[in-house]
Amino acid sequence: MSPLQLLHWTGRNGTKILAIGVLVGFAIPPLAQLARPMLVPMLLLPLIIALMRLDWQIMGSYVGRPVMIGLITFWALIVSPVAAYLVTEALGIGGGLQTALVLMTAAPPIVSAAAIALFVGLNGELVVVAVIVCMVLAPFTLPLIALALLGLELQISLLEFMLRLGGLIGSAFIVAAIARKIAGPAWLRRQAPSLDAGAVLAMLVFALAIMDGVTEFTFQRPIYVVACIVAAFLANLVLQGVSSLLFLKFGGRDAMTIGLLSGNCNMGLVLAVLADKASFEVIVFFAMGQLPMYMLPAVLSPIYRRFSGRPPAPPAKPPQV
């Protein structure tokens, strides 16, 4: 097996590799500790790669549908976190778990949602547009939701929060724009499999890094960790289900796509913004929140396939050795 074949195989098996990465980081704490300094760079690299590969003409098809994109954005960035706050208040959930749930729902969708959507036969073009719009608006909406509207104590000023998030997203756009200009569209098309593999490997390192300290914390507070796992899976599933039902008027495929976007939130981006300001309870939830994001697509694939009206991408063949 050549290095190029290995890269291509890695790109095609991204979901499985990422799921393994989370478990490895939990099972082998020294690896998680080693990867920890790479948390922020490995968070930004998949976003940069996605922006490099993005065909900006895709956005043109949605220019005539601003209402749809606006509703998706409003639901994802405003309604969902407010609903999460109200539900946690009603259930008597407070402390770090409530903070983490509200921050999760206030975050924009994960960048890798586009790849997941394509694999399960959903609307990848819609995912790309929605992710970009949410990413652009998140520096303005997330701080307001977290600090002003919800009154959460994050020990970080509104201006500092907005500048950090805007700096992360803005730097990714700038680097991607420069790389696109230098590489050119032809090179980007030829190297697409290798770029996908690079994104997968970056996300693997991120999955390892975010588990740093979680294993020790699990032995200290196992009940809280179990609560985080249950809450993460429930939140993901409920967000996907409710979102899909609310947007059924756009058709089954697009509704399921919006559900996928809503349930898979970019907690890593929020963690990168908060840096040392985040409590470890929040970090633990964000770490456990990676589990449903990497595991549910495979479980829900038959449902996605039914509403997509098309078969998903065929499973990747193992590399020849």
* 206-219 pLDDT, tens digit each: 878 888 888 888 89
Sequence letter at residue 316? A
Q: How far is it, in rounded angstroms, from Cα 162 to Cα 176?
A: 21
User: Binning pLDDT at 50, 70 and 90, where does residue 73 land?
Assistant: very high
Q: Vertex 77, ends 85 and 107: CA angle to 5°?
A: 80
Q: Spell out the residues 6+ positions from residue 225 whose beta carbon is closer than 8 angstroms to its own.
A: 214, 217, 218, 284, 288
Instruction: Give φ, ψ of 109 to 5 degrees.
Output: -65, 155
| 137 contacts 77 by C-beta, under 8 angstroms | yes
Most confident of 109-123, 157-171, 277-291: 277-291
Q: Which residues pair with 109 in a beta bridge?
A: 265
Q: Evaluate if residue 235 carries a pLDDT over 70.
A: yes
Per-residue pLDDT, 321: 32
pTM: 0.80
The residue-averaged pLDDT of 138-156 equals 75
- Spatial distance between the Cα atoms of 97 and 231, rounded to a whole number of angstroms: 9
Strands (E), 151-281: none
Rounded Cα distance, 290 and 270, in Å: 13
- Sole residue written with tokens 């991408």: 313
Write out pLDDT tens, residues 186-206. Answer: 999 888 888 878 887 888 888
For the segment 225-233, the average pLDDT, to the nearest whole number, is 95
User: What is the separation, in whole angstroms, between the first and last Cα of the chain?
Assistant: 5
Q: Which CATH number fits domain 37-307: 1.10.630.10, 1.10.510.10, 3.40.190.10, 1.20.1530.20?
A: 1.20.1530.20
- Checking if the pLDDT of 155 tops 90, the result is no
